Each structure stands twice: as C-alpha cells, then as structure tokens.
Amino acid sequence: MLKLDNVCYSVNENGKQKDILKNINLEIGDNETVVITGHNGSGKSTLMKIIMGIIPVSSGKIYFDGVNITNMTITNRAKLGISYAFQTPVRFKGLTVKDLLTSANNSNLKVMDVCNYLSKVGLCARDYIDRELDDSLSGGELKRIEIATTLARNAKLNMFDEPEAGIDLWSFEGLISAFNENKQKNGGANLIISHQEKILNIADKIVVMDNSKISMYGKKDEILPNLNSKRYCSRLQGDYYE
C-alpha cells in the first residue's frame, strides 16, 4: 500500500544543514498495523507529516498503491485515501462535533453513527455531539474527537500520532478494537506512533526510530523483546513504558 524509498528530510538551521530524517525505507502492506516508536525528537511526527504531504521530502520517493505521490498535495493524498490525526489537534471555532464528523465521512452520517464513533474513543456522545470545537474543550477531549474524526473518514491508510495522549486506560479497548476494525473493514492499514505497550501489542510490524533513522524494523515478535531489554528501556527512560 505505502512505500517509502530512501526518504530524507533536512532543514537549514543557522546556515547549517540539519538532517531530521535520514534514508527512510519502509513498506506498509494492506491489512497491516505498523507502530512507530522511539525517543522524543527521533523524527516520528516528521515522518507522518511527510507521508501526508504537510512537509515536502528533501530527497527520496513515496508511493501509495503504486502511484508516485512524492509531489502530490495534501488534498490529493487525502482523496487517494490517506488520513492523519495530528499529535496536537487543531480547534475549529463555530463547528460542532457532529458537523466535523459528518464532513469527514463525506456523507450524511446519522446521529447514531456519530455516537458510535465518539463512543469508540470513550466519549459519552450525548454530551459532545452538539459541542463546538472551541477553547472550552480540553486537550484530551479534542484529541479524542480528532481520533473519532479520522475513524469516520474511513480512509485506506489511517495515521495516528500518539493517540494514547488523550485516552485514559479505561477507554483503550474501544480504541484498539477501532484500529483492528479499520484494517479489516477497509482492507486498509494503520500507521500509529505510540509508546504504549497495549498499542505495540496490536502491531503486525514495529518500527523503532533513533536519531533521524530507522534503527529496528520487523515483525512485532522479533522487535518487542528488544524493546523490553534493559538497555533499551534505560535509554528511553521516561519516554517508553512510562
């Protein structure tokens, strides 16, 4: 479904080149959940923004279902079926939760469908459906609504940047079953940035990023034991399994 071929991203900082992503090669197949983990600042969010087209690659190519999307706009990537839930969601004053989910789904969602998406992220639908997406929502509430919106899009490739940040442990099961449904229902795939053990456990493959590069990439059963090793955990103290 998605293929990254030697993707690099660098910026100019005080006249010097700063490499943020170095030679990223990655493939996500249909019906796969791939989880990216790794310490803060290793380049995980940047990688998602590059896939969505929010920032351009410096070199390398990106293919989606065999189509070269490297120079495609965000809108065209979205039309092809790529969806992205930001690490820090955006507020839309004047728009209600129901409006947002309905427009994301591109059809007339019934109230019951909207409620269903909200309950997947642990929100009591009755309390939220007519709320405005303004400053009165907490960061955690907004994060959940953003995840529900991404789910409602029914895209082929769903990307979530640290979804656990707004979700309490009691709501986790709903979120995890939504990720699993996603890949089954659409024949689609999930790409999730996470440090959460429960999310790492639903991965088919795990990518570990370290210092702008992929340091480990493989099937969950091959990678997880390495993440549990003392050496790795002590390096990521405070960032992994917090």
Ligand X SMILES: Nc1ncnc2c1ncn2[C@@H]1O[C@H](COP(=O)(O)OP(=O)(O)O)[C@@H](O)[C@H]1O
Closest distance to Mg ion from the beta carbon of 42 (Å): 9
Q: Identify which of residues 141 and 162 has a Cβ nearer to Mg ion in the complex.
A: 162
**Do 98 and 114 meet the contact criterion of CB atoms below 8 Å apart?**
yes
- Between 1 and 36, CB nearer to ligand X: 36
Q: What whole-number distance in Å separates Cα of residue 94 and Cα of residue 131?
A: 9
DSSP bridge partners of 26: 4
Both tokens of residue 29?
A: 């197949």
CB of 159 to Mg ion, least distance (A): 12
Q: Which is nearer to Mg ion, 34 or 123 (CB)?
A: 34
Which of ligand X, Mg ion, none sits in contact with 11, Cβ below 5 to 8 A by type? Answer: ligand X
Which listed option, ligand X, Mg ion, none, makes contact with residue 20 (CB within 5 to 8 Å by class)?
ligand X
| Residue 70 interacts with ligand X (CB under 6 A): yes or no | no
Interaction between residue 242 and ligand X (CB under 6 A):
no
Q: 78-83: long-range contacts at Cβ-Cβ below 8 A with a sequence spacing of 24 or more?
A: 78/155, 80/156, 81/155, 81/156, 81/157, 81/188, 82/51, 82/52, 82/155, 82/156, 82/157, 82/159, 83/150, 83/153, 83/155, 83/157, 83/158, 83/159
Residues at the site binding Mg ion, with contacts judged by CB under 5 A = 45, 87
Q: Which is nearer to Mg ion, 20 or 100 (CB)?
A: 20
Interacting residues toward ligand X by CB under 6 A: 11, 13, 18, 20, 40-46
